[in-house]
Amino acid sequence: MQRRGLVIGNWKMNGTLLFTQELACAVRDGVLERIGQQRLSCDLVLCPPFTGLSVARHALSEAPVGLGGQNMSDAVSGPYTGEISGAMLRDVGCSHVLLGHSERRTLFGEENAGIARKMAAAFQEGLQPVICLGETLQERTAERTLEVIRTQWMALVPAILAAAEPHPPWILAYEPVWAIGTGRHATPDQIQEVHGFIRQQLSDHLGATVASRVQILYGGSVTPANAAAIFAQQDVDGGLIGGASLAAATFLAIADAYPKHVSIEE
């Protein structure tokens, strides 16, 4: 079967409303131009900060670009000062939500069990969760990468199995912590090794059909210069882009690097 390519921009905590308006409009214009020239080979999603979601939604309204939150609460509503619910993300026009980003894990103490709860809450709100998995440099040096990925993945399995069908598709993003924002990306071979391992885990726990459908993105210092080699890997279905998504030209150049015709045998 054929998995569609997906490139997501994670703007993190950057951007005034004016910046958001200008960047989202520039992405919209670039997307519409590419569609007109029949050269857009993957789907795109933008994840601005919460405050920019509404502005971005309006700026993108004429273009098929998805909108995502960078995080959400596992609670539906109530006394959770400072939190944003999945329903709120839906209300503002989001289709996706990033969960378990390494900055959430390391700076804000998020753990596997809580991330799985958020995944379940995202399903209930009809949002597509994009769950980030990845090892630290210390863990890679100690040759514990696959063990760490497996632990992070296994924490999600009960939430996936318990989710009432039909639920929105979910997406995994392999993001080695040591590659995020450092300018040091994992090599294509390192990336394919982990993505292939994740695909095998998907197959072992959820069956071959599910495994062949789930998109697995790579994130960590992706640029227009390295994107093509990364996207050429068999089990890479696109990218989660941080720094390089803060300029329309580089974000769109990364999307342009996605292979035009990807056919994956069932």
135 is a contact residue toward ligand PEP (CB under 6 A):
no
Active site residue 101: yes
CA distance 92 to 99: 18
Q: Which 165-204 residues touch ligand PEP, going by CB under 6 A?
A: 175, 180-181
221 is a contact residue toward ligand PEP (CB under 6 A):
yes
User: Is 239:8 a contact under the CB 8 Å cutoff?
Assistant: yes
What proportions of the chain, in percent to the nearest 5, are helix, strand and coil? 45, 15, 40
106 is a contact residue toward ligand PEP (CB under 6 A):
no
Residue nearest to ligand PEP (CB): 242
10 is a contact residue toward ligand PEP (CB under 6 A):
yes
70 is a contact residue toward ligand PEP (CB under 6 A):
no
Among all chains, which residue has been given the structure tokens 């596992």? 74
CA distance 75 to 90: 14
Among 219, 231, 237, 254, binds ligand PEP (CB under 6 A): 219
242 is a contact residue toward ligand PEP (CB under 6 A):
yes
Q: Per the residue annotation, which of 110, 175, 185, 195 is the catalytic one?
A: 175
CA distance 21 to 37: 24
CA distance 6 to 183: 21
Q: Smallest gap, in angstroms, from Cβ of residue 10 to ligand PEP?
A: 5
Q: Give the residue from 45, 46, 41, 47 showing the smallest Cα distance to 4.
A: 41
Q: Per the residue annotation, which of 101, 110, 125, 185 is the catalytic one?
A: 101
238 is a contact residue toward ligand PEP (CB under 6 A):
no
Q: Segment near ligand PEP (CB under 6 A), from 78-86, 159-167, 213-221, 252-260?
A: 213-221
Q: How far is it between the farthest Cα atoms of the chain? A: 49
User: Total residues contacting ligand PEP (rule CB under 6 A)?
Assistant: 14
Active site residue 175: yes
DSSP category for residue 177:
G
Which residue ranges make up the site for ligand PEP (CB under 6 A)?
10, 101, 175, 180-181, 219-222, 240-244
